[in-house]
Amino acid sequence: MSSCSYEPAESLKTLLGDQYHVVSKDPIQSLWSGYGELFRVHTDSPALPSLIVKAIDLPKVAPEHHPKGWNTELSNQRKLKSYQVEFHWYQHYVARMPIGWAPRCLAAESHDSHYELVLEDLKLADCAWVVKTPSNQEIETVLRWLARFHAFWLNTQPSGLWQQGTYWHLATRQMSGRQ
């Protein structure tokens, strides 16, 4: 068994049990504005050979530098809220969805400003592929999925989620030159 420097959160240790361990970690990507990392962990468990971990580290203040200049305190507060809403959604809502619509949340843990989601690896379900130039049929498939996703949640009174839409909505856009 190879060693891995990643120290799993207690929730992942509980999920794997005493007899199985994380043997390697492959980075997938840095999170939005560098607020953490998304990676795939490989285990020696036959039931859970790989998992996706989203490790979120929320800064107390806005980072000093941002490549696009999005480092205001308002921007930082919206990002913090966005990550907290996502964490809440995976903890309380994703299990209500039909199987296969989104990765299952297998474990979730938070301590202070660190959040960790352990998600089903969709690559194991053969539904995670990257398309660089989508065909019309692939675009239509994605749009149908989005329509079904939103229709599924119609008439739901959310708790702990965004009050208006998502992170992105017109009221969040600053209108330059307008009073």
Question: How far from chain centre, in Å, is Cα 90?
Answer: 8
Query: Helix or strand or coil: residue 64?
Result: coil
With tokens 């692939």, the residue in question is 138
Percent of the chain with pLDDT over 90: 33
Predicted pLDDT of residue 163: 77
Q: Which residues does residue 115 pair with via DSSP β-bridges, in sequence order?
A: 56, 110
Predicted pLDDT of residue 121: 92
Q: What pLDDT digit, counting tens, does each position of 57-89 carry?
A: 888 777 776 666 667 777 788 888 888 999 999
Q: What pLDDT digit, counting tens, does each position of 5-14 carry?
A: 456 667 777 8
Question: What is the spatial distance between Cα 96 and Cα 6, in angstroms, rounded to a whole number?
Answer: 31
**CA-to-CA separations, 70 to 3, 16, 38, 64, 86, in angstroms, rounded:** 38, 39, 21, 10, 20
Intervals of the chain under pLDDT 50: 1-5, 175-179
